Structure 1
Amino acid sequence: MTDTLFLTSDDVTGLATPAEYVAAVREGYRQRGEGAPAHPRQKFLRSDPGGMMTSYAALLPDTGAMGGYMYSAGFGAGDAWFMTPLFDAESGEPLALLDGASMNPFKTGAAGAVGVDALAREDAETLAVVGSGAQARGQVLATATVREFTDVRVYSQTRENRESFATEFDDRLEATVAAVDSSEAAVSGADVVITATTASEPVFDGDALDPGTHVTAMGQYHPGKRELDTTTIERATYVPDLRERVTYDAGSFLAALEDGVVTEDHVHAELGEVVADVEPGRTSDDEITVFDSGGTGIETVAAAYLLYERALEEDVGSTISFSPASEALTGRE
């Protein structure tokens, strides 16, 4: 038997800062760029009752951890449930089991911030956010740790939501944060654009992007849905989280591929390859760059291990016991 740490969403809330999440996730992507294994999510769908079960994993040898996410959404409960198992990368023993719901916006936001840090101009000052939910909040909190923004504009379809978002973040950030009435008003003149929506169709016109803009798109991972139009993909140096995901569920890229405006060679590099300096990132101030973030086990394992270490330091959580196969698989009744 081995004791494994169990962490609830309440346990992990506040254990790490946005900057700490970003540092951990950046290190995870560096390892991926140097060959650490990770694969795109697998999705299992059911129509009656409607729902989806999803899983993905990664092994980060330098961190010393491996694991991933398994979560369900919909089905009879009509809700979502996130489980994050974490294992020791050398012994294989289970280290922790986390309720991954509350860390989700932070670890996903950290991946977006790593993309911004790797691809956006160093002098980026204006941030446009399309979306105002939990994921948009996570993106802004993390991205504000890698660039000194002076002006943040937020647009979402519901006026009350975008105005509430602007009020909240105007108090939390040093930048001036304002709600605007259209995605075009947000995107025009922006140095960095973040899309964090549930939209199935493009949320802005790619012709509205100024030269030198960086775009992080993280709201869709479905072959038939997209936040970015074909113009944005065609104009941009395109960097996904995982190259293998591009023809699997990166809807924006697949649409551009189907329209014939790009080929598969349009993929510049994976984010990890840029972080690890295996491939270059931005090469000019006029270049438009895109980070297509669909979610991977890389940021999940990196963030989960960070929280595991913090929980041990703070004496947070409880323990559950697991039996190794050598003990449990005895065949005895």
Structure 2
Amino acid sequence: MKTLLLESDEVDEAAQMADIVRAIEQAFGAYERGDAQMPAKSYIDLPQYNGDFRSMPAYLETDEWDAAGLKWVNVHPDNPADHDLPTVLGTMIYSDPETGFPLAIMDGTTLTMKRTGAAAAVATDYLAVEDASSLGIVGAGVQSYTQLEAISAIRPIEEVVVADKDEDRVQRFIDAFGDEFDVRAGSISEAGHCDVLSTVTPVEEPIVTPEDVGEQTHINAMGADAEGKHELSDDLLLEAMIVIDDHKQCTHSGEINVPYGEGTLTDADIDAELGEIVAGVTDGRTDDTGVTVFDSTGLAIQDVAAAHVVYEIALETDVGYEFGMIDAAQ
């Protein structure tokens, strides 16, 4: 039996977005039903290197498949300047739940970008207006690309407005998608008045206010991944229907972490976890719902679900390199 090695380009090739969105949706449902195990993310802090490691294991079972895996990821902010490496590097180990055999080792950085976009798409499907055709994006970094890729897979997006202080990044984004969508640069308010808004910035001072969004805009708050990060103003959060991916992670390091820590926002202001909506425990958007916010921190079940899709498609399309990592005869 062989282990499949998948590099970044191969993960990208096998990561069919429509399939990943469906798998992520199934993962949220399994989590809510109790058909998933996801221990808390653990950290190894390395202040001498201005970095840390994070381990994210999970197992989940759906009606169609089950899967297990571990993502080992780091955050080293000095990497780009000092070592010509990305700040974040990830490795995914995808295993057979029945035997524990490592079925695949794959690039976890590309996988993370894909599953993060897919999570926003799942939330958008349940929380955005049915005929949403415009998408605003605040922050034109690498994650903005998979936001558009994923959300356009579940809504008929035609118009895209991108807001970013870096004009070169905005132009690169326009160049990448200009043939497929009506893409233009705009202000935060112009982006926020689209049917769907994805915020993907690392800011610690809110940049989106109630005046910056439409009456029924759905917001995917994707940027906050650490304590202190905060893209949406407290007033906006308090007025909106708030849906989170996981209570512990969101109150610790998600979009709501700052107002929650200060007591401005409490559990009473959190309307649902996305898994509850996917599983039918509570409603998503209804006719009288106004602004909605999805607070996404990223869950290990998402990584495992995305890895399942990548592995299966890689096998079908003969992508990757097989090697004998383990002697099955031992």
Q: So what's the TM-score if we normalise by structure 2?
A: 0.90
2:250/2:296 contact within 8 Å kept:
no
- What secondary structure sits across from 1:152 in the alignment? strand
In 2, the alpha carbon distance for the partners of 1:73 and 1:261 equals: 30
1:57/1:296 contact within 8 Å kept:
no
Aligned position for 2:188: 183
Q: What is the percent sequence identity of the aligned residues? A: 33
In 2, the alpha carbon distance for the partners of 1:3 and 1:307 equals: 16
Which consecutive unaligned segments of at least 5 residues does structure 2 have?
none
TM superposition shift of 1:39 = 4.3
Would you say 1:131 and 2:139 are equivalent positions?
yes
In 1, the alpha carbon distance for the partners of 2:156 and 2:272 equals: 26
Would you say 1:296 and 2:299 are equivalent positions?
yes
TM superposition shift of 1:273 = 1.5
2:23/2:306 contact within 8 Å kept:
yes
In 1, the alpha carbon distance for the partners of 2:51 and 2:156 equals: 41
Q: Quick check: 111-120 or 283-292, which moved more?
A: 283-292
2:15/2:114 contact within 8 Å kept:
no
In 2, the alpha carbon distance for the partners of 1:33 and 1:51 equals: 33
TM superposition shift of 1:313 = 1.2
- How many residues align? The count is 320
In 1, the alpha carbon distance for the partners of 2:166 and 2:2 equals: 47
TM superposition shift of 1:70 = 0.8
In 2, the alpha carbon distance for the partners of 1:153 and 1:138 equals: 15
Amino acid at match of 2:25: R
Q: How does 1:1-333 map to 2 (within 5 A)?
A: 3-35=2-34, 36-62=36-62, 63-74=65-76, 77=83, 79=86, 80-173=88-181, 176-180=182-186, 182-187=187-192, 189-250=193-254, 252-317=255-320, 318-322=322-326
2:58/2:304 contact within 8 Å kept:
yes
Amino acid at match of 2:24: V
1:39/1:296 contact within 8 Å kept:
no
1:16/1:307 contact within 8 Å kept:
yes
In 2, the alpha carbon distance for the partners of 1:296 and 1:230 equals: 24
Which consecutive unaligned segments of at least 5 residues does structure 1 have?
328-333
- CA offsets, 1:272-302, max 9 Å, x none? 1111112211233442111111111122111
1:6/1:96 contact within 8 Å kept:
yes
Q: Quick check: 281-290 or 140-149, which moved more?
A: 281-290
TM superposition shift of 1:260 = 3.7
CA RMSD, 1 decimal: 2.1
